[in-house]
A and B are shown apart, each in its own frame.
Chain A
């Protein structure tokens, strides 16, 4: 994987967090939002900038679901498997996604187009089952509608 160098706007925000105690997770959010994952090289720079051990960064990155060490797909599909969604048929919706994309949970398609993951409740339980497509919440999803949903996403991209 090519080395990624921290871009100036990130190092500036990181500098801001640096002054605040215990803000590693906030700095990692900045990195994750910027690159879609936490590239190793950026971790190395972050370790220097924030004066935290790289081991700590890895401990944190691998602990929290929000952070990834690998680049994600261009389209991020998150299927809610929270309780309300589960009861309202989320497992079938999730299976439909798996089939349509040929992926398992956490997988990314070979062309890097789609990343599929399950999440636990996005807080819209009243609209269950819920899928979050690239940050947009889609409500009351039916398994039959999944192919369309993906096709639409492909077109927009």
Chain B
């Protein structure tokens, strides 16, 4: 396949759609989770058996379906039987699926995965699963991430096309402004404004950077998108590069995600071959190169100035802002950094228009948010919900509530920078502001469910321990403060502390918040302060 021009895109889209419409298929979810749960032998087995039995069924691979609790996942769509999704499929189950469902058209009801057991029909660009609304995850678990054609077949790169030939940089930014998309990396800064500042900054060169560091333990939304739908991020990057005036993009992906790196690299190669990356994209006069760089195991490198230092081949230590990367970023040039999920929104947003996007979500928080729901919950996995959905809906309705008849006590959002939200407040609708009011943050989308067995002092200690290990060590308040706070929490847990120690704890936390250089140290006390706010009784019970 040679390089595409603007019109080839539509032709390809309809060609692929037609060619794939009527086929029978079996689809195996094969992102990191799936593989870890044993999807690979299942996939191999299915391929061999189909060949041996000479069935006219295509075995496809896809990325993450978002139902981590039920991996490995196998979806079956054959004529004459309803499309079904099976969970926890081992080799035995795979054989039964072939025998019963594929060959005889009998759905194995007992083996279906979770709630409705069905994925939305693939024709719908924005599928809805129950209360979920999938924009970011529109293709995850549906397309084969190693095939660019499948992305194009589902409307991929239409946003880029519109940006290039209909809008141009300024109108792209205007469209983003209308949409009100805010950064999904944690801080919720309006994406359009950052793009505009970078566009307006002077510099011989400008850079577009994708933050795929995803260091928050317990969060893996970005990994799933990178693995399951790499082109959606590439498309967002290209549109962003066009808008800010960059001709070079960097993906910064944490080294713990080898499969994501692999998928993105493959996707870039394909896109380059098709003229979507490189010189004169889609025949326009816009040219843009793209490269992948790896992290190396440092949470702080998710912070934008540390990320830049790391990209430059240095220790990932943050530096003071201002100047912000938009003025003074990679190689001292204006640079724009966006989170994976932010970027995955951009393609459909531009294709369908800012007004459409702005119609989803709440007044201040537009669009959807992906959460990785884990911990003491029945159905852990990825959910994408419109902003404004309540925590209760996410935890109780979508994810099935507590495991094993326990009582859910709280959730933690925002990871080590966030805080706990007690069960009484689960009716809060999710938005940047509402979570902040509760003393937590939206964060990147980790949502950890805790039940009655979990001790809040212990949880605070866990997060502090994380921050102590991940502190870059540059500034004293975080480097030493974190350690002292951790020691105080340990002292409390060991029942050796007094009320004076809690006062001391608060004082050091306050100094850390005010005097730490970067977000890591400034927010590291949040888990402590929020558990103190809602569960002070648990602290008191441990005091002498």
Touching chains A and B, CB distance < 8 Å: yes
Residues of B within 8 A of A63 (CB): 298, 315-316, 472
Asked if B35 lies at the interface with its beta carbon under 8 angstroms from chain A, I say yes
User: B69 touching A65 by the CB < 8 A rule?
Assistant: no
Known: A84-B218, A87-B376, A120-B299. A59 touches B71 (CB 8 A): no
User: A87 touching B297 by the CB < 8 A rule?
Assistant: no
Q: Encode contact with B along A75-95: 1 for CB under 8 Å, 0 otherwise.
A: 000000111101110000000
Residues of B within 8 A of A65 (CB): 296-298
Asked if B462 lies at the interface with its beta carbon under 8 angstroms from chain A, I say yes
A83 to B464, CA, bound (A): 12
Q: Encode contact with B along A48-84: 1 for CB under 8 Å, 0 otherwise.
A: 0000100010011001111100000000000001111
User: B256 touching A26 by the CB < 8 A rule?
Assistant: no
User: B374 touching A125 by the CB < 8 A rule?
Assistant: yes
Residues of A within 8 A of B469 (CB): 120
Asked if A116 lies at the interface with its beta carbon under 8 angstroms from chain B, I say no
Within 8 A of A (CB), among B204-238: 214-220, 223
Asked if A128 lies at the interface with its beta carbon under 8 angstroms from chain B, I say yes
Within 8 A of A (CB), among B346-398: 372, 374-376, 380-381
A69 to B223, CA, bound (A): 29
Asked if B516 lies at the interface with its beta carbon under 8 angstroms from chain A, I say no
Residues of A within 8 A of B218 (CB): 82-84, 121, 125
A29 to B292, CA, bound (A): 13
Residues of B within 8 A of A20 (CB): 291
- For B379, the closest partner residue in chain A by CB is A126
User: B375 touching A84 by the CB < 8 A rule?
Assistant: yes
Of the listed stretches B95-103, B424-432, B446-454, B532-540, chain A binds B446-454
User: A21 touching B312 by the CB < 8 A rule?
Assistant: yes
Residues of B within 8 A of A82 (CB): 217-218
Q: Per a CB cutoff under 8 Å, which of B299, B311, B315, B375 touches A59?
A: B315
A25 to B375, CA, bound (A): 34
User: A125 touching B380 by the CB < 8 A rule?
Assistant: yes
Asked if B68 lies at the interface with its beta carbon under 8 angstroms from chain A, I say yes
Q: How many A-B residue pairs have CB under 8 A?
A: 135
A22 to B331, CA, bound (A): 9
Residues of A within 8 A of B256 (CB): 119, 121-123
Residues of A within 8 A of B462 (CB): 83, 86
Q: Per a CB cutoff under 8 Å, which of A23, A83, A127 touches B71?
A: A127
User: B297 touching A83 by the CB < 8 A rule?
Assistant: no
Q: How far is the CB of B248 from chain A (nearest CB, A)?
A: 10
Residues of B within 8 A of A67 (CB): 296-297
Residues of B within 8 A of A88 (CB): 375-376
A52 to B299, CA, bound (A): 25
Known: A66-B297, A84-B380. A127 touches B37 (CB 8 A): yes
Residues of A within 8 A of B311 (CB): 22
Within 8 A of A (CB), among B81-134: none
User: A22 touching B257 by the CB < 8 A rule?
Assistant: no
Asked if B286 lies at the interface with its beta carbon under 8 angstroms from chain A, I say no
Q: How far is the CB of B338 from chain A (nearest CB, A)?
A: 20
A142 to B375, CA, bound (A): 16
A31 to B462, CA, bound (A): 33
Known: A124-B32, A139-B37. A60 touches B68 (CB 8 A): no
A26 to B297, CA, bound (A): 13
- For A57, the closest partner residue in chain B by CB is B313
Q: How far is the CB of B257 from chain A (nearest CB, A)?
A: 6
Q: How far is the CB of A87 from chain B (nearest CB, A)?
A: 5
Interchain Cβ contacts under 8 Å between A and B, 7 examples: A64-B295, A64-B298, A66-B297, A119-B256, A121-B220, A127-B37, A128-B380
Apart from A60-B296, A66-B296, what 10 extra A-B contacts exist at CB < 8 Å?
A: A29-B255, A63-B315, A66-B295, A66-B297, A67-B296, A81-B217, A88-B375, A121-B217, A122-B256, A127-B36
